[in-house]
């Protein structure tokens, strides 16, 4: 006798198989900028690769998304971004394209140390030993395992400095937040995410010690940066930045501003002026001329080192620490 139910059985098995495959599919995760992408990738190691939204070498300030990036947002189950203070371009697309995705805005994560945006391009001198102590103890054990409180150094209505990833302690908070979010959308791999996060935090503790040893000999030497991206690293490692060339990455400095910076360089004995790959280097040459200061390059987004490093957060931080140590140390 012919089995009339066999096709239905086959279809039912196929449907069950499809459900199982869907359940086992790796989560679709989008990260906004390379340093954040690198940290997310460490937590997802062995499961899947996150998608990078803003390509290396591109500033997130005023970025315009391509259709492929909009499509990635639309398909995402988790989006990790810094926040509207850095990535204004993402606010509307997140609402219109990724409304169904789990979203982690890093500047809103409990335990994240947030510093106020500095006004003007010449900054008052301060006791950097006190700052270093504050930065180092904002998260005990470099952000490891303790119950965090949301740390605001600014008033609620004051703009924040959004370059939060340039604090190694904050990187530990990012790792924990990503592991928690991933476990919520992909509980089957929660154990892997937790183990990867623990490994990443251990590596970050070692990195913080390494950076401190690299920069300890040059902590007393003032310098000027291209734009105010380095406050977190300054505070955490006790460095002395005297000012920035631009107030906003979108606006070139005026002649008056350049004149003020030249006076600051002379008065405070700034020994290095640091450009960035994304911005004009001729302004550094103008400031360096006739001052005795040296020129260097700092790279908050990993523009230069990213392809060679394979996108590792530790390589980004080591490269910038080495650039600071080389320029400030050679100036002695």
Instruction: Give the rounded distance of the alpha carbon of 164 from its chain centre.
Output: 6
Q: Which pLDDT belongs to residue 247?
A: 64
H-helix or E-strand spanning residue 272: strand 272-275
* Other Cβ atoms within 10 Å of 183 Cβ, number: 18
Q: Which pLDDT belongs to residue 291?
A: 78
Is residue 145's pLDDT more than 50? no
Confidence of residue 260 (pLDDT cuts 50, 70, 90): confident
Is residue 150's pLDDT more than 70? no
Q: Which pLDDT belongs to residue 118?
A: 84
Lowest-pLDDT choice from 118-122, 190-194, 206-210: 118-122
pLDDT in tens, 216-256: 999 999 999 988 899 999 999 999 998 888 766 667 777 88
Distance CA 153, CA 218 (A): 26
Distance CA 283, CA 258 (A): 9
Here the contacts of 208-215 (C-beta below 8 Å, separation 24 or greater) are 208/142, 208/168, 208/169, 208/236, 210/318, 211/168, 211/237, 211/317, 211/318, 211/321, 212/237, 214/318, 214/321, 214/322, 214/325, 215/239, 215/321, 215/324, 215/325
Is residue 317's pLDDT more than 60? yes
Q: Mind giving me the DSSP string for 100-144?
A: TSEEEEGGGSTT-EEEEPPPSSB-----HHHHHHHHHHSSHHHH-
Is residue 195's pLDDT more than 90? yes
- Homologous superfamily (CATH) of 215-330 is Nitrogenase molybdenum iron protein domain (3.40.50.1980)
What 3-state DSSP class applies to 51? strand
Confidence of residue 135 (pLDDT cuts 50, 70, 90): very low
Q: Which pLDDT belongs to residue 277?
A: 84
Of the candidates 42, 51, 33, 41, the residue with the CA atom closest to the CA atom of residue 203: 42
Lowest-pLDDT choice from 175-184, 237-246, 300-309: 300-309
Higher model confidence: residue 53 or residue 25? 53
Lowest-pLDDT choice from 7-16, 64-73, 229-238, 255-264: 7-16
Is residue 94's pLDDT more than 90? yes
Confidence of residue 266 (pLDDT cuts 50, 70, 90): confident
For the purposes of burial, counting CB atoms within 10 Å of the CB of 290, is it exposed (0-12), middle (13-18) or buried (19 or more)? exposed
Mean pLDDT of all residues belonging to the chain? 82
Confidence of residue 33 (pLDDT cuts 50, 70, 90): very high
């Amino acid at each position: 006798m012919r089995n009339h139910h066999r096709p239905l059985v086959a279809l039912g098995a196929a449907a069950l198989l499809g459900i199982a495959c869907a359940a086992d599919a790796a989560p679709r995760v989008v990260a906004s900028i390379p340093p954040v992408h690198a940290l997310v990738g460490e937590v997802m190691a062995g499961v899947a690769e996150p998608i990078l939204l803003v390509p290396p070498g591109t500033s997130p300030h005023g970025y315009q998304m391509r259709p492929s990036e909009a499509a990635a947002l639309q398909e995402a189950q988790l989006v990790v971004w810094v926040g509207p203070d850095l990535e204004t371009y993402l606010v509307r697309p997140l609402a219109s394209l990724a409304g169904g995705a789990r979203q982690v805005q890093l500047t809103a994560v409990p335990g994240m140390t947030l510093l106020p945006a500095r006004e003007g391009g010449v900054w008052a001198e301060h006791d950097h030993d006190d700052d270093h102590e504050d930065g180092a103890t904002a998260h005990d054990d470099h952000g490891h395992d303790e119950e965090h409180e949301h740390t605001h150094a600014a008033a609620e209505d004051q703009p924040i400095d959004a370059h939060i990833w340039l604090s190694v302690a904050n990187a530990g908070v990012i790792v924990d937040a990503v592991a928690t979010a991933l476990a919520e959308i992909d509980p089957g791999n929660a154990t892997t995410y937790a183990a990867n996060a623990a490994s990443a935090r251990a590596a970050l503790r070692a990195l913080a010690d390494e950076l401190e040893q690299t920069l300890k000999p040059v902590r007393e030497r003032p310098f000027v940066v291209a734009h105010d991206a380095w406050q977190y690293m300054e505070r955490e490692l006790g460095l002395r930045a005297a000012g920035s060339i631009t107030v906003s990455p979108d606006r070139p400095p005026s002649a008056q501003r350049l004149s003020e910076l030249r006076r600051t360089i002379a008065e405070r004995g700034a020994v290095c002026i640091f450009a960035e790959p994304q911005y004009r280097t001729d302004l550094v040459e103008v400031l360096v001329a006739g001052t005795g200061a040296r020129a260097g390059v700092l790279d908050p987004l990993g523009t230069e080192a990213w392809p060679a490093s394979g996108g590792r957060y530790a390589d980004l931080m080591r490269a910038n620490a080495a650039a600071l140590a080389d320029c400030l140390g050679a100036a002695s």
